Structure 1
Amino acid sequence: MNEMFYRQSALDCIANGLLKNYRNGMYLYGAPRSIPIEEIIEVEYKLTIEYVKLRKSGNVLGQTVFENCFVPVYDKENEQYTIIEVQPGTILIDEALLEEENMGRYRYTLTHELSHWILHHKIFDNSQESAAKTTTESNSKTEWQADALAASILMPKMQIKKAFFFNARIKR
């Protein structure tokens, strides 16, 4: 796999561009608010989100599918793995993240997988691979970049600064 390295400043620019183009920049320039990541994924990028049990162990929470392929998922009812066919442009999310206490992790995982789509689509296209983070792969450049872009999308620096200075004025 031929990885391309992006600096943090470039990832911040990509995130700002995404948010600037989405709804006239209201999530970048308006009042700080929660980024509607599901809507961005489904409406802006026209990707599909599907919920499955990715691994029995729970060590894979999300997976981005770049081309038509077959993906192993855990069938809890039959207590065994099965293979499902998945279309390109699908983000698979582990169904455990739908529980209320996992909402922050859910949003982050969705954004991490969108980041793979944005940054690494050309790397994984026609590679017979998918972007799925496991604990043993978590240090790769590709994963770091998806993590960093996800953070920049969900917490744009302009909005963090705005919220910080607004709260600092209130406390005076």
Structure 2
Amino acid sequence: MHYYDFSIKQLEDKATELLIEFDKERLEKTKPLDVYEVIEKCLGVPYDWKYLTPDQSVLGATAFSDGYFWAWPESTYREGMMPYKVGVEKGTILIDTTLTEGDNRGRENFTVMHEVFHQRLHRKCFRDEGRNYMHQTYSRTIDGNIRCASYALKIIERQANACAAAFLMPADLTKQIYEEKYRSAGFTRYNYGFMWNLIKDMSDDFNVSKQAMSYRLQNLGLIDENEENLLK
């Protein structure tokens, strides 16, 4: 496997490029988002929803070649239940069906964009024509904890995470809205009740989970580790 060692700025720039291609107004204001429109407009690849695992340990998958994937008939394992084979064509993005059920829109959006950036950044990492490459995104990967074996896989997971965050929460706009909400409140920086509500409000504004917004604010230097931990 080969991968490109992008800098943080380069990853932010990759996300900005896709934002401009998809809808450049999103760099200046928050708007409702259908992440599947990004796939349709900017990638033109198939996508589908399946129960990828019976314990939600895998939330997304990307096919870098024609092949197959083992899916499950239900979201929860029952004794005797077996997976079934799903044929996929090169480029297909699969999203775990559980993300479409209940209040999971933020996690769904992040998972989809994570897979989108695997398509944009990492196709050449999986181009061995003699193998069936189906890259899986573990649930722990998208919320900050890397769960994969090799160093190269850890790098590309971090890259997809960084780009997904930068696309969904553009740096300048995120900073602007944070500062506006923070200044208007008049509280001290360490009022945790206020910070929790601020993170919740901003996660709603940007169509992401509270955890994703918390990580983004920390990575942009707007909140410290103690404030980020208040959501755990």
Q: TM-score, normalised by structure 1?
A: 0.88
Q: Could you say which residue in structure 1 is the equivalent of 2:103?
A: 101
Deviation at 1:34, TM superposition (A): 4.1
Q: Distance in 2 between matches of 1:15 and 1:112?
A: 11
Size of the aligned set, in residue pairs, is: 170
Q: Deviations over 1:103-146 (max 9, x none)?
A: 11111100111111111011113352222123541871111111
Q: Distance in 1 between matches of 2:84 and 2:182?
A: 53
The structure where strand makes up a greater share of residues is 1
Tell me the amino acid that sits aligned with residue 41 of structure 1. Answer: I
Sequence identity percentage? 27
Matching residue of 2:220: none
Runs of 4+ in 1 over 4 A off after TM superposition: none
Q: For residues 130-145 of structure 1, what are the structure 2 equivalents within 5 Å? A: 130-134=134-138, 136-137=147-148, 140-145=154-159
Which of 1 and 2 has higher RCO (CA within 8 Å, sep 6+)?
1
Of stretches 82-91 and 139-148 in structure 1, the one that deviates more from structure 2 is 139-148
The alignment yields a C-alpha RMSD, in angstroms, of 2.1
Tell me if the contact between 2:67 and 2:89 (Cα under 8 Å) persists in the aligned partners.
Answer: yes
Q: What is the rounded CA distance, in whole Å, between the counterparts of 1:130 and 1:154 in structure 2?
A: 25
Quote the residue 2:73 is aligned against: 75
Q: Deviations over 1:51-109 (max 9, x none)?
A: 00111232111001122111111123982111111011211011011113211111110
How far is 1:43 from its partner?
1.9
Q: Within the alignment, does 1:41 sit opposite 2:55 as a pair?
A: no
Is 1:2 the counterpart of 2:2 in the alignment?
yes
Q: Which shifted more, 8-17 or 124-133?
A: 124-133
C-alpha distance in 1, partners of 2:105/2:21?
Answer: 25
Task: Could you tell me which runs of 5 or more consecutive residues in structure 2 were left unpaired when the two chains were aligned.
Answer: 141-146, 187-232
Greater Cα shift, 106-115 or 2-11: 2-11
TM-score relative to the length of structure 2: 0.67
Equivalent residue number for residue 129 of structure 1? 133
- Residues 171 and 54 (structure 1), Cα distance of their counterparts in 2 relative to 1, 3 Å cut: same
- 1:11 equivalent in structure 2: 11
Pair member with larger Rg: 2
